[in-house]
Structure 1
Amino acid sequence: MFAGCGGIEAETAPESAPSTAQQQAPILTQTNVDVAQECTGILEFANKASYQILDRFLPSNVVTNIVNRRATAQFTSLADLSSVTLVGPTRLKQLEGGARTLDYIDADCVGIMDGLAISRDDQTAIVALVNSIDDSELHDVLPNAWNGAVNLLGHRPFTTAQQIADTTGIGDVSFRNIRNSATLSRPLEALFAAVNAIPSNGSAGVTTLRHFDWWKIATASHYYENEKVCFGLEPSSVPRYAKVRPNLADSAEVIAAVERSITGVNGDVTISPQVLKAGRDNLAELTAGRSFKGCILSYGDDPWSRHNVSIFVDTTTGFSVLAETWWAE
């Protein structure tokens, strides 16, 4: 299915995580972002604090390594910091502690966990997502952490992102995927909310969704079904009576389906131009060069209506989009 000074202490740097895109306010668009805007003071502290100041929070040999490295290039990410010899998770937390003590960061930066420095807004979004996400979407977001997904579902609700990061089966890669799913698509979700808020005219309407249970939607039975075409699913996950096409969906197909929904509600006129542009740009960025599994459904609950539903799920990140148009006589 779809702290203080100490002696020399060697420490292994965390296993690197694959790069995926992140979005937050203010929007960060680089695919390798691992520091929320509210937490960039951690990097500023590492880049600007004197040797004597850093030596209050880190072993002297670690400080020497950091100072020597920054003399050649400023640190731009936690991954960059972690590339310094002897800098691993413990040293990053000590850097965070120094940055917080000296007011480089404040409560808007929750802190570093599993290789990411997250903000208070990030934490809110992460907790909300994990507490509400459907089984099918969570397993798509965590394709290589099945046990971690099961443990999250079994132990929610959570109140902090640290509790989620500490869940058995959730490591750096999984936590990054969760963060991305929770914060990646804020402009797109704002656009979808605007589309869905426009009342239907009684004979036609649309629905756009970012988080949904695709398995439940794709396998639902309807009395009048015209067509169900799926692609990229494991054989055991293909809904009953669905046709299977060989090619996956690409960015153009996903964008076209979303645009049909926007056009269906005359969105270019009724939706704020700023929301419309930001959402479209966000969707284009998140889908560029990606491949999607999913299903295209056409059905009716009576002879006088028709629903056309397009479901797309990124085969690597689990990023998902649903676009539906419907009409009734």
Structure 2
Amino acid sequence: MLRRLSSTLLAASMFAGCGGIETEPSSEQVAPASVESQQAPLLTTTDVDVAPECQGILTFVNTSTYATLDQFLPSNVVTNLVNRRATAPFTSLADLSSVALVGEARLKQIEGGARTRAFIGANCTGIFDDVAISQDDATAIVSLVNTISDSELHDVLPDAWNGAANLLNLRPFTSAPAIANVTGIGGVSFRNIRNAATLSRPFEALAAALTAIPSNGSYGAVMQRHFDWWDVVTANHPYSQGGPTCFGLEPSSVPYGAYIRPNLANAAEVRAEVNSTLAYVNASAKLPAGVISAGLANLDARIAGRTFKGCIFSYADDPWSSHSVAIYVDTVNGFSVMTETWWAE
């Protein structure tokens, strides 16, 4: 992973090769800081590389004059950017990075120019590992990394286990840039962490609301988005009701006594399990319709076309009750859902 450049190096390189000639009308857009500061913060809700609060970075590159860009970038880089945007405006950081000579250092210089010219403000934390995050994103990322379980973090970072181990060893963190700077965390893994922290908030709200439904002591349900699936599956209970049925697990992760189902779970199975859990506690009569519809729409967006590993099992802590648990974990990005229903005599 590329390391962050120090402010000294950035300052030294920021003006290298500057002094280009104005080649277009000076009708660039300027977003005053006072206007930006009045915009309500938004948590990034889709898998994009520019948070809503940071869109000004793209606007800065798309609308600034050659002379303005030349104040922050080498002239040959400005020429490449201006020539490319003449064919189509830039729509993402990946789009910007596809231009010759635009790498991590140039992206930080572009961010600096956008901030200096008030296209972005304090609500945009900045660009880290090729992802522009908002202040709200940064807060969510820090909270997730400081609290996430070992098993979930490794599922979120399936190709960066060294990075996951380093995060676990170095936490707690106080900033998202510090997380991005950890050895083993690069563009893909940092974006995976951002996605895990921000993309499922409506479903998390639904899960929390369902779990908070008061029980009459005879039955109830729990739904979770973040949990340690290994601890849940391997927990000891006085009255075991047989080993779990598991699917898609690595051989080293299969719990003792588990039956291995050959097929992975799909979106339909996950949705059916969530629907069943909602119906079990009559959630439609106890929760706001908007919370349910928003949560299920968010769930559908996160599971569409995906495959899941997991386990399904039952247990009891005494002879007069029973619990049924279903766990699903996306095999690529670690998005996870756990449902648990119970009854007691």
Q: Could you list the structure 1 runs, at least 4 aligned residues long, displaced by more than 6 angstroms after superposition.
A: none
Aligned to 1:99: 114
Aligned to 2:55: 40
Aligned to 2:17: 7
For residue 231 of structure 1, what is the amino acid of its counterpart? F
Question: Is the counterpart of residue 231 in structure 1 residue 247 in structure 2?
Answer: yes
For residue 177 of structure 1, what is the amino acid of its counterpart? N
Question: Is the counterpart of residue 243 in structure 1 residue 273 in structure 2?
Answer: no
In structure 2, the CA distance between the partners of 1:169 and 1:63, relative to structure 1 (3 Å rule), is: same
The two structures have a TM-score, normalised by structure 2, of 0.87
My pick for the range that moved more, 258-267 or 98-107, is: 258-267
Higher RCO (CA-CA < 8 Å; seq separation 6+): 1
Residue 202 (structure 1) shift: 1.1
For residue 293 of structure 1, what is the amino acid of its counterpart? K
In structure 2, the CA distance between the partners of 1:26 and 1:126, relative to structure 1 (3 Å rule), is: closer
Match of 1:76 among 91, 99, 104: 91
Aligned to 1:58: 73
1:1-329 equivalences in 2 (<5 Å): 4-7=14-17, 25=42, 28-29=45-46, 31=47, 33-227=48-242, 228-329=244-345
CA contact (8 A) 1:211 1:321 kept: yes
In structure 2, the CA distance between the partners of 1:263 and 1:27, relative to structure 1 (3 Å rule), is: farther
Structure 1, unaligned runs of 5 or more? 9-23
CA contact (8 A) 2:329 2:336 kept: yes
Aligned to 2:36: none
In the TM superposition, what whole-angstrom CA distance separates every residue of 1:207-238 from its partner, at most 9, and x where no partner exists? 00011010011111222222410111112211
Residue 267 (structure 1) shift: 1.3
The alignment partner of 2:227 has SS state of coil
For residue 6 of structure 1, what is the amino acid of its counterpart? A
Determine what percentage of the aligned residue pairs are the same residue. 64
Separation in 1 of the partners of 2:81 and 2:101?
Answer: 9
Output the aligned Cα RMSD.
1.4
In the TM superposition, what whole-angstrom CA distance separates every residue of 1:81-120 from its partner, at most 9, and x where no partner exists? 1111111111111110011011100000000000100000
Separation in 2 of the partners of 1:196 and 1:49?
Answer: 50
Residue 25 (structure 1) shift: 3.5
Separation in 2 of the partners of 1:6 and 1:177?
Answer: 34
CA contact (8 A) 1:5 1:60 kept: no
My pick for the range that moved more, 231-240 or 119-128, is: 231-240
CA contact (8 A) 2:43 2:137 kept: no
Separation in 1 of the partners of 2:305 and 2:42?
Answer: 24
The two structures have a TM-score, normalised by structure 1, of 0.91
Residue 27 (structure 1) shift: 5.7
From the CA coordinates, give the structure whose radius of gyration is larger. Answer: 2
Separation in 1 of the partners of 2:44 and 2:178?
Answer: 25
My pick for the range that moved more, 263-272 or 253-262, is: 263-272
CA contact (8 A) 1:257 1:323 kept: yes
**How many residue pairs align between the two structures?**
310
In the TM superposition, what whole-angstrom CA distance separates every residue of 1:39-64 from its partner, at most 9, and x where no partner exists? 00000001011111111111111111
Separation in 1 of the partners of 2:316 and 2:322?
Answer: 5
Residue 26 (structure 1) shift: 5.6
For residue 133 of structure 1, what is the amino acid of its counterpart? I
The alignment partner of 2:113 has SS state of helix
